A and B are shown apart, each in its own frame.
Chain A
Amino acid sequence: GAGVSQSPSNKVTEKGKDVELRCDPISGHTALYWYRQRLGQGLEFLIYFQGNSAPDKSGLPSDRFSAERTGESVSTLTIQRTQQEDSAVYLCASSTRDRVNEAFFGQGTRLTVV
């Protein structure tokens, strides 16, 4: 596609429910990032996929958070047993192998846990 696509754009869920957030990176981009942006705060790194290497999961805040990526395509971020503090905008970004530090961002998924 022309850019990084995230779905849904907005998600309201009840506390305790599981949610899945989807990211479609730009075609051919080997690297994929997930970040979280809480209201009034900066971008918090969550997880990073680079090709077939083991993902860098050092930013995942708890074991309720997990992410998968199929090859070099779609990624899904799953949050189990959501809590109110999980409310944030979840941003996905992707980049090419030769410009792996230069990330292109999606519009984000705004998650609200009520």
Chain B
Amino acid sequence: AQSVTQLGSHVSVSEGALVLLRCNYSSSVPPYLFWYVQYPNQGLQLLLKYTTGATLVKGINGFEAEFKKSETSFHLTKPSAHMSDAAEYFCAVSYIYGNKLVFGAGTILRVKS
């Protein structure tokens, strides 16, 4: 069965510090991978995605993620956290073009001043 594991339901970083949110997936075939963000009182929005090609993908607001097939991972990073990055982040995977998205449990990012 398709599955996504996000390590850490809550992550707290200081403003200006590195943000690292972890995502691992289970798959026997190449996946499509996504990160979505949900700001307080807002709907989910796409942050970035990997489908094919370059394994390092860049998204909005300075976030990026690297697809590592050998580690079955798609961790999300940002070099310097801003207060406005406080939100809940969801990793998602799809295995076949046109198939449903399967989401991880989410990680709530808190940014301390």
> Is the A/B pair a real complex?
yes
A residues sitting closer than 8 Å to B (CB atoms) are 4, 31, 33, 35, 41-43, 45, 48, 50, 56, 59, 91, 93, 100-108
Residue from A42, A50, A56, A108 whose CB has the most chain B CB atoms within 10 Å: A42
In the complex, what residue of chain B is closest to A56 when comparing beta carbons?
B100
Q: Is the CB of A105 within 8 A of B103?
A: no
Range class of the B interface residue count: 20 to 34
Q: Is the CB of B103 within 8 A of A43?
A: yes
CA distance in complex: A102, B101 (Å): 9
On chain B, the residues within 8 Å of A42 by CB distance are 6, 90, 103-106
- Shortest CB distance B26–A (Å): 15
Taking A33-B100, A103-B46, A103-B101 as given, write out 8 further A-B residue pairs in contact, using a Cβ cutoff of 8 Å, ordered by the A residue number.
Answer: A4-B43, A43-B90, A45-B103, A50-B98, A56-B100, A93-B44, A101-B97, A108-B43
CA distance in complex: A35, B44 (Å): 12
* B1-54, CB < 8 A from A: 6, 32, 34, 36, 42-46, 49, 51
On chain B, the residues within 8 Å of A35 by CB distance are 103
CA distance in complex: A48, B2 (Å): 15
On chain A, the residues within 8 Å of B97 by CB distance are 100-101
Q: Is the CB of B105 within 8 A of A107?
A: no
Asked whether any CB of chain A lies closer than 8 Å to the CB of B87, the reply is no
* B72-101, CB < 8 A from A: 90, 92, 94, 97-101
Q: Is the CB of A48 within 8 A of B44?
A: no
CA distance in complex: A8, B94 (Å): 29
- With A42-B90, A102-B34 already in contact, the answer to whether A33 and B101 are too (CB < 8 A) is yes
Asked whether any CB of chain A lies closer than 8 Å to the CB of B57, the reply is no
- Shortest CB distance B35–A (Å): 12
CA distance in complex: A108, B42 (Å): 9
In the complex, what residue of chain B is closest to A108 when comparing beta carbons?
B43
Q: Which of B43, B46, B98 is close to A100, meaning CB atoms less than 8 Å apart?
A: B98
On chain B, the residues within 8 Å of A104 by CB distance are 46
